[in-house]
Amino acid sequence: MSDEPAVNAEDVSALDSELLAANVVRAVGVTKTYHLGGEVIRALRGVTLSIKRGEYVSIMGPSGSGKSTFFNMVGGLDKPNDGHVFIDEVDIASLDTFELAWLRCHKIGYIFQTFNLIPVQSALENVMLPMLFAGIPEADAQDKAAGLLNDVGLGHRMLNKPPQLSGGQQQRVAVARALANDPAIILADEPTGNLDVRTGEEIIDILSKLKEEKGVTVITATHDHKMLSASDRVIYVVDGQIDRVQKREDLNITVGTIEEEGHEEK
Ligand SMILES: Nc1ncnc2c1ncn2[C@@H]1O[C@H](COP(=O)(O)OP(=O)(O)OP(=O)(O)O)[C@@H](O)[C@H]1O
Ligand SMILES: [Mg+2]
């Protein structure tokens, strides 16, 4: 028998649920103001929001309401004028350049509306890139990139360059690239914005599976009500502020209603 103190099973499960319940992202009073040719644009006006590990959260809001600005703050791509962003309870403002680069490379996977792929590199090379940045040997990066492209259904096109691929296929490459370093958080800014409904739903399915199977936290921005069904919570943003929050149980009814309304319009 070991000398370790006996751990009560109840204590372990309490600890597990505490860890699971931990906030992976916490924004507190995040404010961002732009000054553009004498005009003051208040893109974010004090956003406070906690997101738990393994949650799938959609940020909804009209164009210009501050969704991308919020993503840039959470992803450490830009700094708020006021307020704080905590990732795993670390204030990212306290990180030095190297630590911030590490966080962006290892913890967060970014999917942008416009894919942001390198056009002169193959799909495979695009997916390998974040792994090479992380110092993974080239042969290992290549194997993993090929596996990820297979997972998103692009195994047969991995040597093609982005301009040779359809929008949906490019977005799959972007999803595979976002997964390269096994991030804990996926930030997807309108990942389906440029896609038809069916391809959009396939991308959402891939993201939902990541959440279910790997416990990845998924944060997406979308305009599209049809894309909300996978969400645990929907945060509605208006004029740089959270307007209301809807939980999954309330959402199913609403999504049905919205879809019905959509059919009536036709
Ligand atoms: N770099 C910038 N300089 C000046 N103003 C900016 C800048 N980036 C964003 N803005 C302004 O901040 C506001 C919020 O923009 P943001 O891109 O966050 O909106 P959004 O909700 O993502 O919109 P969309 O749905 O169209 O993508 C807008 O009024 C926008 O014009
Ligand atoms: Mg945007």
Supply the DSSP string of 114-172, one letter for each residue. T----TTS-HHHHHHHHHHHTT--HHHHHHHHHHHHHHTT-GGGTTS-GGGS-HHHHHH
pLDDT band at 18; cut points 50, 70, 90: low
| Residue 43 maps to a domain | no
The average pLDDT across 193-202 equals 80
- On the question of pLDDT at 234 being above 80, the answer is yes
| Residue 183 maps to a domain | yes
| Residue 34 maps to a domain | no
Evaluated on CA atoms 74, 80, 85, 90, the torsion sign reads positive
pLDDT, mean over the chain: 87
User: Residue 252 carries which side chain, given as an amino acid letter?
Assistant: N
Let me know the angle formed at the C-alpha of 126 by 57 and 132, rounded to the nearest 5 degrees: 95
Q: Give the span between the Cα atoms of 195 and 167, in whole angstroms.
A: 7
| Residue 11 maps to a domain | no
Which residues line ion ligand 2, judged by CB < 5 Å? 67-68
pLDDT band at 86; cut points 50, 70, 90: very high
Domain enclosing residue 246, as ranges: 52-76+96-265
Say which ligand is closest to the CA of 41: 1
- On the question of pLDDT at 219 being above 60, the answer is yes
Is the CB of 34 inside a 6 Å radius of any atom of ligand 1?
yes
The pLDDT score that the predictor gives to residue 222 is 85
Return the minimum-mean-pLDDT range out of 142-156, 185-199, 228-242: 185-199
| Residue 193 maps to a domain | yes
Let me know the angle formed at the C-alpha of 225 by 87 and 26, rounded to the nearest 5 degrees: 15
Which residue is closest in CA terms to ligand 1's atom 4? 34
The pLDDT score that the predictor gives to residue 248 is 82
The pLDDT score that the predictor gives to residue 249 is 79
| Residue 126 maps to a domain | yes
Is the CB of 238 inside a 6 Å radius of any atom of ligand 1?
no
The average pLDDT across 250-264 equals 49
Ligand 1 pocket: which of 35, 40, 63 to mutate (most atoms within 8 A of CB): 63
Return the minimum-mean-pLDDT range out of 12-26, 150-164, 187-201: 12-26
The phi and psi torsions of 218 (rounded to 5 degrees) equal -115, 125
> How many structural domains comprise the chain?
1
pLDDT in tens, 25-46: 999 999 999 998 999 999 999 9
| Residue 249 maps to a domain | yes
CATH number for the domain that contains residue 223: 3.40.50.300
Evaluated on CA atoms 118, 124, 127, 133, the torsion sign reads negative
The average pLDDT across 233-247 equals 95
The pLDDT score that the predictor gives to residue 16 is 56
